[in-house]
Amino acid sequence: MRKSIIRVAVGSVATLTLGLSPNIGPAPGGIPDHKIQRYSFTTIDDSADPTFNQVLGINNGGSLVGYYGSGASGHPNRGFKVVYPYGPMQFSNENYPGAAQTQVVGINLQGNTAGFWADNAGNNFGFVKTHSTYATYKNPNTTGTVNQLLAINHYDVAVGFYTDSSGVSHGYTVDTKTKRYTDVVPPDSSNVTAAGINNLNDVVGYYTATGGAVVGFVLSSGNYTSFTFPGATATTPFGINDHGTIVGSYLDKAGASHGFIVHNLLTPEPQFRTLDDPKGVGTTVINGLNGRDEVCGFYVDANMNTNGFYAIRYNG
């Protein structure tokens, strides 16, 4: 399980230019200086636990979801939803009834949310909340202890993964209305996680390739395209919007974690850019984005606290 918490420290705003990664040469299809995208960052932490927060999903209305609590003894994961202007009064709890722990990971335009919950034995189950009603989703092929939903689109198609009895991950999509499950299996892959989906049913995620490298993939119109952020040792995409923009994180050669954005991946000139929260350079993960390329995620600060963030794009 990912580990996180809630607190709101809104007003902590910084700006960062989307640039190339350190020690990485010019990316194909470089963006002219006057069109480079810049982002303004706001820390999003719930006051219930100021030491551990992760913001994991965002919809086109700017509503955010995530969780707080590290998952350690006495600090269980607790899900939340927060709406603009992201102050303390805009937070609401969202926890699967009777669950020992809950993480809310995705939200669509209707406000339906997806994520996973854990029982007292540590077994994970995917869930979708529609209005005030929760429903559990478990891939019927699951033979391990983990089943998680990580994103949901406008048509209530969700993506996630399950583990088998050997602990190997398998990606899938599920139509939450018909409960039809479909495997996501990139060629020559193992340990597959389907992590993001847009309204065109394009899916992104990551897997272990032959040789052991962790690489990203996008599934579009039935075709798989694998990719690695230039110079990275591991690439893990988490979100994709209807314009085909992809976000996620990568590890550099020193083992530091950086957020990334990729534009035009499926063209001859894809544009790869690093995007780190200025307060967490080298510890940033971007987990979600919406149709306006607003993004959310989390970082670790100088005090070793995990903080959620929201970032809005502007051009300059």
Nearest to 16 by CA among 290, 275, 301: 275
Assigned token pair, 233: 């040792």
Nearest to 309 by CA among 95, 18, 1, 10: 10
pLDDT at 30: 42
Length of the chain in terms of residues written: 316
Low-confidence ranges of the chain (pLDDT < 50): 1-35
pLDDT at 314: 83
Instruction: List pLDDT tens digits, range 185-204.
Output: 999 999 999 999 999 999 99
The full set of domain ranges for the chain reads 13-315
- Cut 0.85: pTM above it: yes
Domain 13-315 in this protein, CATH class: mainly beta
Instruction: List pLDDT tens digits, range 247-274.
Output: 999 999 999 999 999 999 999 999 999 9
